[in-house]
């Protein structure tokens, strides 16, 4: 037994994913320790690990060297059987050679068996003084899956610690039965106690109603559910980091080698791309695998569509394999990008490549969320999950449509947010590595990431000395963009090399006078704070014109971030002059509802693109709550007002329903409606319903209100309504977009590309009207009149007049 004079480190018992990201839950994944792996006491076990006895600086991952007899085996068979150079040496010839000469090949056979065993069980090696475990899949990937790495003579991948964590994470999703729960409920049937776990408070409450004697404990419970809980992983990948190669490899590993009669699939953003992934990352690689990993397949050339693991039709026609054993009978193929391409199929692996690259302008118009939903059914039989999904997309290349969908998928893939079955909403969890973890050129000779600045220069895997860490290197690049005030360049840099998950979704915009970087930052923050807004509907309590009541609903038409205090809701008064209702004067100067009606009714849009009915309510700065109090200054970040509080964007509602919805919002908040008047039905409906007092007018130079409320949208280089809208938005965004709570309205401001696009950005337009309306002096004018009347009235009450 070898002994070591070196004080080695203790092996880790787990690896961690998603560390140091405020929007991601840190995931701990257990890995075997040497004593568990070898079933020996720890001190004995480590002696069996490759690299034991060497000094730490000599301990690195070493590729397996194929024994020379096996390297030469094909040549030997060719000679013995006089096989011509153009003919294929069949697998059964190799088997025959090995078995007929078992004694001669005995060590080689043991070596092969060792590779196969490690392929499943994983492998330990000493790495810089630490016993390090890599999963079986990674072992075979590193040793036998040529990816064309120019640094390796056989093109094999380089060992990287980041990849080790990645493989561990993906395989964890394939095996874990853990569910994460917030509530533990202990109940009894009268004679025995049982436990159930929940995540949904409503479910707990319902359960308590049925079992009033139960005991509820709140916490963070990780429970073995008895069945697999994860369908796979969604992974925003870095450019040229090898993730597509790893995904191709895992497709083969899971489909072909974890059981027979299994099926693997690939979908990408187009047929061309899925073919590329299939051919370049699976079919070509498989041909270079050693014979003991090669299943029987149909045909010997590189397939373009599918690999069928079936017996060749003709044993002598160049088929790869033999007919002597029952074949695997599975396949790996690729399909077009459409949502239903694998519908009704049974799958054991699916790779959805480039899920964030949907680009309708180039005909790539796939709903990746629907497609994933379809494929989930292929990966499971009822509640029993048998397959694995891997969804990847390159950072920095997420187009608008796909990027949004990918963002939604990621939000539905929060490790800690589970349903009552212990699963995430998407069935996936997100793996994210910051750009500085595993960055090219910043990997040390042991495969570890050089993240922080090293105390002294260290050698990287290319043999060069590195004196700064990857984080400093990337920060320096960011600083140069900041110094030159290059917003677009900085955003691109941040998205290509994100430090946090949020930064993945900052997309670069065109030249704009808007503070795009600030907007994007706020959008990224709001992406992970969905609780700031909720969806509601409004209803008349007893018919139109009565009080309005609020109903919370996941399907609600209104997205709301602020509600007026109870005493300030539904405050309206009858205006005998106009014979209509209007907001009480003490609330009418607070809220402005900008409205942008759709140009056409739903039934009118045959052949035309449907537009939305939109509304956005702005809460003007309210000095009563956000004013300074004596010497105490209330900071802008503490204000509740001077921001949007409600949005509405609906396509499939009629004009009357839209007007009714706007009316309810106005009555509830006491808001004034400032509509776009190119379409007048809102105005007409408000007058018809005796709500004319809720219409907001501009005042002319003479201090008289204009004849019509709102504005007519006009275009032109100067003084047009459209230009005014852009100007007022610019001012608002520069002053306070970092305090805005409505992501949906900020996204439109970030994406709109000039005045010509206003018809496509209905919330932007409605918001613009709200901001313009908030400048109208009309409510102040009414308020002043009311106050004057009140003073008059008081005076009349004080003095006697004759």
Partner 1 sequence: MKFDSSEFEKLKYPIHKIPMDQPVLFEFSDLSKFSIIFSANDLPKQLDPDLVLRYLIFMYDLGSPGQGIPDLKRRKTWAMQCLNIEPPYPKHITDMLSWKIKGVNRRAIYFLLLMGGEQYMVWKSAEEALLRYTELEIKLEAEDEAAQAKIVQAEKTRREIINMTMSQITASKNEFLQGEKSKDLDDELTEFTLLDSLGIRPEEYIREFQDKGDVFPDIDA
Of 79, 81, 114, 790, which lies in the binding site for partner 1, with binding defined by CB under 8 A? 114
User: Any residues with CB less than 8 A from the CB of 455 and at least 6 apart, and which?
Assistant: none
> Which of 182-190, 207-215, 318-326, 393-401 is the region at the interface with partner 1 (rule: CB under 8 A)?
318-326
User: Binding partner 1 by CB under 8 A: which of 24, 66, 70, 98?
Assistant: 98
Among 99, 215, 574, 796, binds partner 1 (CB under 8 A): 99
Residue 70 C-beta: closest distance to partner 1, Å? 11
Contact call for residues 746 and 720 (beta carbons, < 8 A): no
Cβ nearer to partner 1, comparing 311 with 519: 311
The footprint of partner 1 on residues 377-406 (CB under 8 A) is none
DSSP letter string, 711-778: B----SSSS-HHHHHHHHHHHHHHHHGGG---HHHHHHHHH--SGGGGGG-HHHHHHHHHHHHTT-SH
| DSSP-assigned letter for residue 105 | T
Q: d(Cα 222, Cα 735) in Å, to the nearest integer? A: 45
Q: How far is the CB of 447 from partner 1 (least distance, A)?
A: 21
* Residue in 110, 195, 532, 788 binding partner 1, rule: CB under 8 A: 110
Q: How far is the CB of 645 from partner 1 (least distance, A)?
A: 58
CB of residue 292 to partner 1, shortest distance in Å: 5
Residue 218 φ then ψ, to 5°: -100, 140
C-alpha to C-alpha distances, 725 to 62, 93, 758, 775, nearest whole angstrom: 64, 78, 10, 12
- Site residues (CB under 8 A) for partner 1, limited to 691-720: none
Shortest distance in whole angstroms from residue 436 CB to partner 1 = 34
Closest approach of partner 1 to the CB of residue 118, in Å: 5
Q: What three-state secondary structure class fits 444? A: strand
With CB under 8 A as the contact rule, the residue among 83, 109, 369, 605 that binds partner 1 is: 109
Q: Of the two residues 331 and 694, which places its CB atom closer to partner 1 in the complex?
A: 331
Question: Which residues 12-71 are close enough to bind partner 1 by CB under 8 A?
Answer: 37, 48
Q: Residue 329 CA to chain centroid, in angstroms?
A: 35
DSSP category for residue 263: E
Closer residue to partner 1 (CB): 323 or 678: 323
Q: Whole-angstrom Cα distance, residue 122 to residue 297?
A: 26
CB of 445 to partner 1, least distance (A): 25
Question: For partner 1, which is the closer residue by CB, 251 or 267?
Answer: 251
Least Å from the CB of residue 465 to partner 1: 36
Q: How many residues in the chain?
A: 802
Return the residue of 27, 147, 170, 295 that touches partner 1, per CB under 8 A. 295
CA dihedral 423, 425, 428, 432 (to 10 degrees): -120
Nearer to partner 1, 58 or 114 (CB): 114
DSSP-derived 3-state class of residue 613:
strand
Judge contact between 287 and 370, C-beta under 8 A: no
Cβ atoms 686, 674 nearer than 8 A? no
Q: Are 334 and 277 in contact (CB under 8 A)?
A: yes
- Give CA–CA dist 494/506, Å, rounded: 7
The C-alpha atoms of residue 698 and residue 783 are separated, in whole angstroms, by 15
Nearest approach in angstroms of CB 331 to partner 1 is 15
Residues 484-523 that bind partner 1 (CB under 8 A): none
Site size with partner 1, rule: CB under 8 A: 42
Binding mask 117-136 for partner 1 (x = CB under 8 A): xx-xxxx-------------
Q: How far is the CB of 517 from partner 1 (least distance, A)?
A: 52
Secondary structure of 550-588 as H, E, C letters: EEECCCCCEEECCCCCHHHCCCEEEECCCCEEEECCCCC
- The site string for partner 1 over 668-687 (x = CB under 8 A, - otherwise) reads --------------------
Cβ at position 44, least distance to partner 1 in Å: 13
CB 255, min distance to partner 1, A: 11
- Residue of 242, 204, 100, 177 whose CA lies nearest to 422: 177
Q: Is residue 102 at the binding interface for partner 1, with CB under 8 A as the rule?
A: yes
Binders of partner 1 among residues 235 to 294 (CB under 8 A) are 256-261, 292-294
Rounded to a whole number of angstroms, the minimum distance from the CB of residue 266 to partner 1 is 21
Cβ burial, residue 82 (10 Å; 0-12/13-18/19+): exposed
Q: Which is nearer to partner 1, 303 or 675 (CB)?
A: 303
Give the residue carrying structure tokens 């299939």.
Answer: 278
User: What is the rounded distance in angstroms from the CA atom of residue 761 to the CA atom of residue 758?
Assistant: 5
Tokens of 233: 């992983």
Helix, strand and coil content of the chain, in percent to the nearest 5, comes to: 35, 20, 45
From the list 116, 425, 468, 708, which residue makes contact with partner 1 (rule: CB under 8 A)? 116
- Judged by CB under 8 A, which stretch of 112-120, 226-234, 242-250, 517-525 contacts partner 1? 112-120
CB 218 within 8 A of CB 182: yes
Distance from C-alpha of 122 to C-alpha of 533, rounded to nearest angstrom:
47
**In this complex, which beta carbon is closest to partner 1, that of residue 136 or of residue 265?**
136
Min dist CB 320 to partner 1, Å, is: 12
**Rounded to 10 degrees, what is the CA torsion of 462, 467, 473, 479?**
-150
Task: Please identify, using beta-carbon distances, which residue of 125 and 442 lies nearer to partner 1.
Answer: 125
CA distances from 615 to 645, 715, 769, 774, 798 (A): 11, 21, 9, 14, 46
Q: How far apart are CA 765 and CA 771, in angstroms?
A: 10
Shortest reach from residue 314's CB to partner 1, in Å: 12
Nearest distance, CB of residue 20 and partner 1, angstroms: 34
Nearer to partner 1, 123 or 674 (CB): 123
For residue 539, report the phi and psi dihedrals to the nearest 5 degrees. Answer: -135, 145
Positions 448 through 487 that interact with partner 1 (CB under 8 A): none
Beta carbon nearer to partner 1, 310 or 495: 310
Min separation Cβ 145 and partner 1, Å: 15
Site string for partner 1, 67-96 (x = CB under 8 A): ------------------------xx--xx
Count of beta carbons in the 10 Å neighbourhood of residue 575: 15
Q: How far is the CB of 117 from partner 1 (least distance, A)?
A: 5
Nearer to partner 1, 90 or 182 (CB): 90
For partner 1, which is the closer residue by CB, 138 or 364?
A: 138
Element (H, E) at 1: none
Indicate the residue among 258 and 411 with the shorter CB distance to partner 1: 258
Taking the least distance from each CB to partner 1, the nearer of 293 and 769 is 293
**Residues pairing with 215 in the sheet:** 186
Out of 9, 13, 62, 106, name the contact with partner 1 by CB under 8 A: 106
Given the complex with partner 1, which of 80 and 121 has the nearer CB atom? 121
Of residues 325 and 623, the one with the C-beta less far from partner 1: 325
Q: How far apart are CA 161 and CA 584, in angstroms?
A: 66
Helix ranges restricted to H, 63-179? 68-71, 73-81, 91-100, 106-121, 136-144, 161-175
**319 to 378, contacts with partner 1 by CB under 8 A?**
323-329
Q: Would you tell me which residues interact with partner 1 (CB under 8 A)?
A: 37, 48, 91-92, 95-96, 98-99, 102-103, 106, 109-110, 112-114, 116-118, 120-123, 256-261, 292-296, 311, 323-329
């Amino acid at each position: 037994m070898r002994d070591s004079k070196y004080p080695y480190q203790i092996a880790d018992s787990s690896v961690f994913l998603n560390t140091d990201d405020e929007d991601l839950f840190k995931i701990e994944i257990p890995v075997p320790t040497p004593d568990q792996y070898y079933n020996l006491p720890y001190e004995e076990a480590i002696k069996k690990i490759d690299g034991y006895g060497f000094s730490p600086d000599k301990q690195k991952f070493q590729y397996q060297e194929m024994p020379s007899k096996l390297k030469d085996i094909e040549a030997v068979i060719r000679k013995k059987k006089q096989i011509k150079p153009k003919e294929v040496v069949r697998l059964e010839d190799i088997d025959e050679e090995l078995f007929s000469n078992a004694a001669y090949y005995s060590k080689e056979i043991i070596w092969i068996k060792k590779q196969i065993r490690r392929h499943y069980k994983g492998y330990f090696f000493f790495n810089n003084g630490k016993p390090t475990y890599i999963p079986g899949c990674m072992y075979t990937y590193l040793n036998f899956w040529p990816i064309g790495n120019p640094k390796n003579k056989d093109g094999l991948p380089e060992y990287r610690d980041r990849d080790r964590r990645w493989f561990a994470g993906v395989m964890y999703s394939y095996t874990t039965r853990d569910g994460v729960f917030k509530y533990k409920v202990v109940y009894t049937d009268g004679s025995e106690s049982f436990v159930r776990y929940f995540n949904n408070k409503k479910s707990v409450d319902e359960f308590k109603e049925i079992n009033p004697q139960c005991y509820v404990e709140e916490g963070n419970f990780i429970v073995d559910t008895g069945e697999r809980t994860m369908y796979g992983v969604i992974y925003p990948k870095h450019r040229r980091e090898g993730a597509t190669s790893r995904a191709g490899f895992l497709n083969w590993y899971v489909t072909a080698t974890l059981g027979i009669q299994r099926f693997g699939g690939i979908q990408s953003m187009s047929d061309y791309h899925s073919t590329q992934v299939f051919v370049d990352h699976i079919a070509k690689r498989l041909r270079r695998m050693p014979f003991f990993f090669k299943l029987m397949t149909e045909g010997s050339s590189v397939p373009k569509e599918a690999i069928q693991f079936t017996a060749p039709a003709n044993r002598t026609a160049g088929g790869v394999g033999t007919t002597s054993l029952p074949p695997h009978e599975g396949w790996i193929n690729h399909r077009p990008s459409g949502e239903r391409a694998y519908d009704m199929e049974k799958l054991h692996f699916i790779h959805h490549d480039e899920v964030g690259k949907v680009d309708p302008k180039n005909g790539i118009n796939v709903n990746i969320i629907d497609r994933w939903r379809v494929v989930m059914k292929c990966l499971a039989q009822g509640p029993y999950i048998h397959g694995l999904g891997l969804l990847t997309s390159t950072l920095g290349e997420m187009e608008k449509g796909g990027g949004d969908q990918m963002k939604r998928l990621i939000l539905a893939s929060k490790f800690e947010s589970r349903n009552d079955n212990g699963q995430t909403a998407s069935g996936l969890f997100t793996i994210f590595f910051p750009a500085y973890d595993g960055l090219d050129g910043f990997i040390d000779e042991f495969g570890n990431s050089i993240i922080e600045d090293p105390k002294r220069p260290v050698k990287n895997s290319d043999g060069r000395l590195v004196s700064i860490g990857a984080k400093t290197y990337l920060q320096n690049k960011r600083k140069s963009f900041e110094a030159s005030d290059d917003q677009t360049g900085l955003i691109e840099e941040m998205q290509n090399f994100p430090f946090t998950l949020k930064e993945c979704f900052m997309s670069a915009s065109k030249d704009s006078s808007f503070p795009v970087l600030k907007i994007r930052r706020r959008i990224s923050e709001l992406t992970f704070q969905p609780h700031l807004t909720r969806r509601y509907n409004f209803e008349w309590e007893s018919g139109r014109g009565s009080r309005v009541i609020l109903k919370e609903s996941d399907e609600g038409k209104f997205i709301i971030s602020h509600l007026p205090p109870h005493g300030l809701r539904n405050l309206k008064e009858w205006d005998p002059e106009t014979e209509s209702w209007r907001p009480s004067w003490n609330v009418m100067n607070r809220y402005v509802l900008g409205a942008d009606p759709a140009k056409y009714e739903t039934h009118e849009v045959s052949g035309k693109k449907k537009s939305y009915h939109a509304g956005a309510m702005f809460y003007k700065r309210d000095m009563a709550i956000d004013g300074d109090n004596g010497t105490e200054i209330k900071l802008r970040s503490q204000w509740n007002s001077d921001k949007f509080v409600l949005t509405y964007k609906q396509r499939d509602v009629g004009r009357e329903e839209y007007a009714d919805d706007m009316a309810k919002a106005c009555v509830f908040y006491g808001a004034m409606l400032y509509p776009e008047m190119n379409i007048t039905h809102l105005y007409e409906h408000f007058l018809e319903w005796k709500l004319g007092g809720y219409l907001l007018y501009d005042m002319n130079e003479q201090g008289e209100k204009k004849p019509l409320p709102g504005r007519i949208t006009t275009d032109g280089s100067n003084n047009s309504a459209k230009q005014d809208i852009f100007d007022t938005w610019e001012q608002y965004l520069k002053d306070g977009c970092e305090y805005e709570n409505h992501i949906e309205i900020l996204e439109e401001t970030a994406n709109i590309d000039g005045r010509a696009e206003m018809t496509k950005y209905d919330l932007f337009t409605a918001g613009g009207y709200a901001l313009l309306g908030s400048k109208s002096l009309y409510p102040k004018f009414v308020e002043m009149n009311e106050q004057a009347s009140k003073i008059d009235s008081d005076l009349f009450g004080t003095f006697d007049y004759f």
